[in-house]
Amino acid sequence: MTTATRESAVTLERFKSGMTWNQYLSYIASEENQQRPTPGGSPRGDANVERFVRNMSAWQISDEGREALQSLPRLKMLVLGEDWCPDVYRGLPVLAEIAANAGWELRIFPRDENNDIMSEFLKDGQHESIPTAVLYTMDHEYIGHWIERPAVANEHMANMQKLFSRQDGESEQDMRARIGQAYRELQTSDEWASWRDATVDELIELARSNA
């Protein structure tokens, strides 16, 4: 992780303007959020709320992870996300749990309403990948940031790439149905669950190596 090379849009006042975890959960179901567009133009609907709740109830931080987080210095964490994104409705509850156990101050910002912040933390310098978690000291000095998903998840997704191309004799409709089914199965798998624990490990490492 590298330090910022220009003045950041994330001033102390801007950070404080973000939503707490409880405020964000309420925001997901709000009329304000429901009226915001999605990349595909489809309505957000209540399904996104249900996905957050399901991912929150399906996982609990380990005793080892909790002890490690409680040993860290107090920090602040900014998170960019959008509720329709699978990496967000899996990962953001984990980030909130990390902050709660570490005693960190958490503020959440919708990515598409905060493009100036997102532009500072692009994946590979070009992708607006989410969730993005940015750590600061309590004096608001930038520490480092974490993007999208843990390394083990990236490796697994790379191995799944063969699923995302049309197979011999397969129609476009059949391909989309197969991919959709495979992704739904992934979201209830042990692999998906293990990514939460890996996220905890990587945030601990980031905080330890830069704090």
CATH of the domain at 104: 3.40.30.10
Contact 147, 163 (CB under 8 A): no
**How far is it, in rounded angstroms, from Cα 191 to Cα 200?**
15
Q: Quick check: is 179 in a domain?
A: no
Q: Answer whether residue 90 is part of any domain.
A: yes
Phi and psi at 51, nearest 5°, equal -65, -40
Q: Which domain, by its residues, includes 88?
A: 12-149+203-210
pLDDT value at 179 more than 90: no
The reply to whether 56 falls in a domain is yes
Residue 114 pLDDT > 80: yes
Element (H, E) at 130: none
Q: Please measure the distance between the N-terminal and C-terminal CA atoms of the chain and give it in whole angstroms.
A: 12
158: in domain: no
Q: Given a cut of 80, is residue 21 above it in pLDDT?
A: yes
Distance CA 172, CA 19 (A): 41
Quick check: is 186 in a domain? Answer: no
Dihedral angle over CA of 47, 48, 50, 53, nearest 10: 170
Q: Taking the model in full, what pTM does it have?
A: 0.85
Tokens 């980031």 sit at which residue?
206
Q: Does any domain span residue 37? A: yes
More confident residue, 172 or 189: 172
Q: What is the structure's pLDDT at 23?
A: 96
Residue 127 falls within a domain, yes or no? yes
- 111 belongs to a structural domain: yes
- Which whole number is the average pLDDT over 14-43? 90
Does residue 90 contact residue 131 with C-beta atoms inside 8 Å? no
**40 pLDDT band (50/70/90 cuts)?**
confident
Say how many domains are in the chain: 1
Spell out a b/e string for 141-157, using b for 16 or more CB atoms within 10 Å of the CB, else e.
ebbbbbbbbbebbeebe
Encoded amino acid at 47, one letter:
A
